[in-house]
Structures are given as structure tokens and as C-alpha cells.
Amino acid sequence: MSQNPKSHIVRGLQRAKYVALLVATSILVAYPDTSTKAAWEDSPKALVDEVWQIVNNEFVDQKFNQVNWLEQRYKLLERKYTNQQQAYQAIRQSLEDLGDPYTRFLEPEEFEELTSQTTGELSGIGIRLTIDDSTSQLTVVEPLENSPAAEAGIKAGDKILRINDKPTSLMSIEQASTEIKGEVGTEVELKISRADKDVFDITLVRAQIELPSVAYTLKREGKFNVGYIKLDEFSSHAAEQMQKAIADLSDRNAQGFVLDLRGNPGGLLFSSVEIARMWMEKGAIVSTIDRKGGNQKFAANGKALTDLPLVILVNRYSASASEILAGALKENKRATIVGTRTYGKGTVQSVHSLSDGSGLAVTIARYYPPSGMDINRKGIAPDIQINISTQKQMELNVNPDLLGTSGDPQYSQAIKILRSNSLNQ
């Protein structure tokens, strides 16, 4: 079944990240007795030192941006912290000294959100929400497939009047989402208004929901069948969703593909490698170099799902894993890149869960496309640059249904390229 690419929400660049399970080597601390040790472990200083140790063991720059990192530890542990917020502030200040915007501290709520994005899962009922422009009411955009909302018969266009008996009239989408999310197995009560039905109440049980990262549809462009795929981010489920999209569109006689990475902030490195292998039969994909000079290389494995013509759309918000994929397919001449220069994030992060539920993202490596070019802060130049005017971009933002249509200049250029390739074959 094809999915509607227009319902997907473009995530912010702050979510660009790569999650890996790494074990940090602890620096031993001597405690005079058991009670002192227990007091230490429960104090904000323990969290501060936990962060310091992870950075000390993993940060890609062994010179720590010319900061005396050992001295930094002494200064941090000399301070008195009366609450966690003071510790959080001290952590942030010390990380800023490293000069790396991607090595950052995440408070518990931020860490929970990031984890949901990278795993591609969250605990909830599985609905996408918007605020109706004409009525200002909280409205269901769509229920997600196989979710509690879909199974209960929630429909696109339903107005949610109350959540757990709280009126939604003054709620933002973020506030409503917070009310709806919760532990798996717990209940959430909704009061719903539907055009052809009286107001009714419904109780749903929260479940673990797989978030769609991929949306796709088959478009008829003149006499040409185009498989249009929108990839929002590289979550842990993105590769399997991409595989399904390519297979379904191929079965429906797609003659070429447009892969839309515009606004995609990145995600998991291994997800980008898996997806590159679906399009490439051979060739290098990416290499990563860690703080010790270790070079890990990734290449195609001879298991491409299609060799049909491919155009990739990018813009300045295409970052990280998006640039790995676009760079690999461009440099192996597997795809034509259309749009504007990408963001330029050439680093890899690991994300750690900390003892109080907060999190830490640490830059652990730099990555390079097959050519070895350093794209950090430079980005990847498209093969064909198509700029979008400010007015047109505002029009696309207001009406995302225009994406992937003749009203989308970059998509229109992609169609011209696919038609030209078809005529030359």
C-alpha cells in the first residue's frame, strides 16, 4: 500500500545524530566508607563526573579543543551543587568549551524525545495531529497503521475536544502529544467530535508505536511512472520501510525513482549504509575515522534492489546521514543530485543514557564520502542546482501537498532528468 508523503513532519536539525552502544571506561574514585560512596552517587557531582568521564574516553579530539580537560574535572568537582539544574548548567558550560555543537547534554525530556526519534518508536496511541486553521481545533491528520488509534476507528479529520478530561482548546500540538504519550499498557481517554456523528468518548490503551520514516507513492508523469519516496530521517526502522517502498513501487512498474531527502536531518549511520546498499550494486559508501585514527569502511554488498534511474532531492537542511547517502550515490554515479548544497555535518555521535535519565551526545568520529572529501561545514554540492525562491518556499511550507508535484521546482527538474535518461536508453 502506498503512503502519503505529505503527512510526514520534517524534523529539526538538532535531531541529527548517530546512536551506538558504547561502554565508557570509568576513572576510579576512592571512597572512605560505604555511606560516603552512597552520598556521592546520589549527588549532582556524580552526574557531572559521569559526563566528564564519557567525554574524556570518547571525544574525537584528543586535545579537547586545547582545553585542559583534566583541570576542567577538578574545577567541576570543586563546585557545590544544591540541585540538578546547577549541575546541568555546569555540564553545558564545560561542553561548550569543546567547540563542538554536536557534543551536547540532553535533559531527561530531551533525551526521551531523541531516543524515540532514533529508535523510530514511541509509546502512545499512534495519531498525527494538527491545529485546524479554520476552527483552531486539535485535529487528527491520520492514524498510523496498526496503531491503537487505527484499530479503534479514529479517522482523519476527527476533532479531539478533551484528553484525559482536559480541554484541548488552548493546547499546542506539543502539549497535546505530551498528554497522549505515556507508559505502554496505560489508558488515555479522548472526547472526539466527528462531522457525521455525535460527540463521543473513547478509551485507548497505549502501545509501542513504530513511527513511519518513509512515505511513497507512484506518480504518472505523462507516459512515465515515477516512484516518489520521501525519507524523513534515518531511524532504526527506516531501512526496512525503504525496502518495502522500493519493492512495492517496482511491482507497480515504476520506471524511475525520486528520493526526497530535503529537510532530512540524518539519524543512524548504519541505516544510511543499509539504504545505500539498496540502490548500489558496488562501490564504496562511507568511511569513519575515530580519535585513534581507526578507519572503518563501508561498501556496497552486491544486493541492490533496483538499477532503475534515480534522482535525489536535497537542500540546506539535508544533513548527516542524508549527506552520507547522497554523497555515496553521487560519487558512484548511481544518482543525479538536484537541489541546493547540503548542510555540512561530517561527524558521528554516540548517545549515552546517564544515571538520572538525562543523556549525553558525544562526537566520536568524522566521516568521509568515497572521495575522502571533508564535507564538514561545507556540505555536498548538487549535480544540478535548483534554487527555490523565498516566496515559493513559503508556499511549499504552507501547502506541503505541493511537494512532489509540478508546483515543486526541484521535483519538476527531477522528472525532466528521468525522462531524458529514459529517452537515451
Catalytic residues: 320, 345
Q: How far apart are CA 245 and CA 227, in angstroms?
A: 9
In this structure, which amino acid lies at residue 196? D
Q: Is 315 exposed, middle or buried (0-12, 13-18, 19+ CB in 10 A)?
A: buried
C-alpha cell at 421: 535518461
Q: How far apart are CA 310 and CA 332, in angstroms?
A: 12
Supply angle C-alpha 364, 367, 368, rounded to 5.
Answer: 165
Q: How far apart are CA 319 and CA 204, in angstroms?
A: 37
Hey, how many other C-beta atoms are within 10 angstroms of the C-beta on 394?
A: 11
Residue 135 Cα distances to 65, 131, 247, angstroms: 52, 8, 40
Phi first, then psi, for residue 206 (nearest 5°) are: -65, 145
- Residues near 236 by Cβ (< 8 Å), separated by ≥ 6? 118, 119, 120, 121, 268, 271
